[in-house]
Amino acid sequence: MAKAIESILDKVTGHFGLGASANGVVDTPHKAVHDGDTFSVRAVGNFGLRFLGIDTPEISFQLPGKKPFTSIENADWERFLSDPFAAEYGAMLLDPALAAHLAAKVGAGCATNHAKHAKNAQAFLEQEVTSDIAAQALANDSFRLFLRFATDVVDRYGRLLAYVNRDQQEAAGRPLTYNERMLQAGMALPYFIWPNINPFRQQSSLPDAVLEPGMAADVAQHESSLRGVRLSVAQARNDKLGVFAANDGLRLEPFELRYLAQRRRPNRWVIDLSSTGNLLHHPQRYFDIAKHEDRLYVSDDHVDMFVAAGWVKQGI
């Protein structure tokens, strides 16, 4: 089935029909139209849903210069990730320190490693959903999800952005969100992108949500949800789970694979959540913050607000 919201020629586009009643009967125009600029609609097609706060290895992605998504198990991915800086893939100017950081990760077996962890993450999430359906004694068609949105509801690809859990009325026995379960099991890496993280949901405006310089570590320690997931990641690393496995942990971070394949440089500035300083780490120096759970990414679109608040951009 086609997607209800999708990206077409880099424009987010929607496909909807007239609204429907609770029993599924489609409204007449008279019933659907509320006033001259508002009416009830229903989605025609499925939605893509991207979990906030986490990043998992890619099952498939677009190879350089290619439009179709290709399985990471494909031999072309092994060839590409063995030497992603080869001239045949086009120029990619990176800071020498970042290029050296990546060169130590790629090479023979990188695609195989990525595909293995991607399949593990996919299977784990599938099992969690299956278990929730069984725990609630529901059928697939009666199972419901609860979505909690942050600042951005839809991304540039037309996917919903949310914290996701099974839907249930009673608080007792409520499990962690799928986002948190993936981190706890070592199936995902944290990927905190401002302002779509828990501390900023209730702020009245984006400028009000900007962290004060020197306060990042305090926020990370005292905001319960953020503290909890950061501790889960640290525990998964300590236990050598999943992407942190001792012998064959994930070599290339998912967003690294994406920007290498797209031949673009990383463009999000980074705040160190363990620091009491005021430094915005340069997008190409994110790896200076060694622990993934200590990175808070800030896009170019928002960085001026942080500079106005007293944060200082790192030069390279």
Q: How confident is the model at residue 9 (pLDDT cuts 50, 70, 90)?
A: confident
User: Do 304 and 261 sit in the same domain of this protein?
Assistant: yes
Distance CA 95, CA 40 (A): 51
Confidence (pLDDT) at 200:
42
In tens, the pLDDT along 195-232 reads: 887 544 456 788 888 999 999 999 999 888 889 999 99
Q: Residues 299, 279: one domain?
A: yes
pLDDT digits (tens, 9 = 90+) for 129-178: 999 999 999 999 999 999 999 888 999 889 999 999 999 988 888 999 99
State whether 225 and 79 are in the same domain: yes
In the chain, the percentage of residues whose pLDDT exceeds 70 is 98
168 and 39 within one domain = no
Instruction: Point out the least confidently predicted range of 48-62, 209-223, 244-258.
Output: 209-223
Are residues 31 and 159 both part of a single domain?
A: no
Q: Please, are residues 40 and 19 in contact by the beta-carbon 8 Å criterion?
A: yes
* One domain for residues 34 and 85: no
- Identify whether the C-beta of residue 232 lies closer than 8 Å to the C-beta of residue 292: no
* Residue 201 structural domain: 51-313
Give the count of domains, the chain: 2
Residue 110 pLDDT > 70: yes
| Residue 111 sits in the same domain as residue 43 | no
Whether residue 170 is found in the same domain as residue 259: yes
| pTM, to two decimals | 0.92
The CA distance from 252 to 61, in Å, is 14
Do 157 and 59 reside in the same domain of the chain? yes
**94 and 38, same structural domain?**
no
164 C-beta neighbours (distance < 10 Å), count: 21
- Same domain? For 119 and 16 the reply is no
Do 150 and 58 sit in the same domain of this protein?
Answer: yes
